Amino acid sequence: MDGFAEPSLYTVKAVFILDNDGNRLLSKYYDPELYPSMKEQKNFEMNVFNKTHKADNEISFLEGMTIVYKSSIDLFFYVAGSAQENELMLMAVLNCLFESLSQMLRKNVEKRTLLDNMDGVFLVVDEIIDGGVILESDPQQVIEKVNYRVRDCTEEQISLCNELTKIQIDNTVKLSSKFYLKI
């Protein structure tokens, strides 16, 4: 008999978000014995990505761990737990992570928006899992606690446009001054 594992609140072994090439955007490992080096972590992430990105299967078992996952446009979200872990608890974490991000990013769960609001993403993950313990599982609560104001794309773009026009004006001024000098 394999015996019952020591009951513990340490449910999540790792959580990571990858882009559609399998590159790490964010990852947290909560078990120091699991892949202590960065190289091992990235190998593991690549392996998981290669095995999962083709079919949207929601759950898999790799390298001795139960892994639940979900994809959205060009993003892949993963939550890993031990082989004995309750799969539905891991699912609850994954769903909470996804729902919270979805709400925070106003349903634009894609790489660009995510990276533009990376600080918010770090905070959301921090509110959901603390050192491997599930801290909160209700997306509404997470959003309230993080209280993050999403960076508005339009506002950003306007300022960007302003910047660009300013540079253009500068350039024309410079050009024209040169022009004048030549004359």
Partner 1 sequence: MIKKFDKKDEESGSGSNPFQHLEKSAVLQEARIFNETPINPRRCLHILTKIIYLLNQGEHFGTTEATEAFFAMTRLFQSNDQTLRRMCYLTIKEMANISEDVIIVTSSLTKDMTGKEDVYRGPAIRALCRITDTTMLQAIERYMKQAIVDKVPSVSSSALVSSLHMVKMSFDVVKRWVNEAQEAASSDNIMVQYHALGLLYHLRKNDRLAVTKMLNKFTKSGLKSPFAYCMMIRIASKLLEETEGGHDSPLFDFIESCLRNKHEMVVYEAASAIVHMPNCTARELAPAVSVLQLFCSSPKAALRYAAVRTLNKVAMKHPSAVTACNLDLENLITDSNRSIATLAITTLLKTGSESSVDRLMKQISSFVSEISDEFKVVVVQAISALCQKYPRKHSVMMNFLSNMLRDDGGFEYKRAIVDCIISIIEENPESKETGLAHLCEFIEDCEHTVLATKILHLLGKEGPRTPTPSKYIRFIFNRVVLESEAVRAAAVSALAKFGAQNDDLLPSVLVLMKRCMMDSDDEVRDRATFYMNVLQQKQKALNAAYIFNGLSVSVPGLEKSLHQYTLEPSEKPFDMKTVPLATAPITEQKTEIAPVATSKLPEKLAPSRQDIYQEQLAAIPEFKGLGPLFKSSEPVQLTEAETEYVVRCIKHTFANHMIFQFDCTNTLNDQLLQRVLVQMEPSEAYEVLNYVPAPSLPYSQPSSCYSLVRLPEDDPTAVSCTFSCTMKYLVRDCDPNTGEPDDDGYDDEYVLEDLEVTVADHIQKVLKPNFGAAWDEIGDDNEKEETFALATVRTLDEAVNNIISFLGMQPCERSDKVPENKNSHVLFLAGVFRGGHDVLVRARLALADGVTMQVTVRSTDENVVDVILASVG
Of 36, 43, 106, 112, the residue at the interface with partner 1 (CB under 8 A) is: 112
Closer CB to partner 1, 46 or 134, in the complex: 134
* Closest to 11 (Cα-Cα) out of 94, 122, 75: 94
For partner 1, what does the binding mask look like between residues 117 and 156, x meaning CB under 8 A? -xxx-xx--x---xx-xxxxx---x---xxxxx------x
Of 12, 15, 18, 68, the residue at the interface with partner 1 (CB under 8 A) is: 68
The structure tokens listed for 109 are 């769960």
Cα separations in angstroms, 113 against 25, 143, 145, 168: 12, 17, 20, 27
b/e 113-152 (16+ beta carbons within 10 angstroms → b) = bbebbeebbebbbebbbeebebbbbebeebbebbebeeee
Answer yes or no whether residue 1 interacts with partner 1 by CB under 8 A: yes
The residues that touch partner 1, with contacts defined as CB under 8 A, are 1-9, 19, 23-28, 38, 41-42, 51, 55, 57-64, 68, 74, 83-84, 86-92, 111-112, 115-116, 118-120, 122-123, 126, 130-131, 133-137, 141, 145-149, 156, 159-160, 163-164
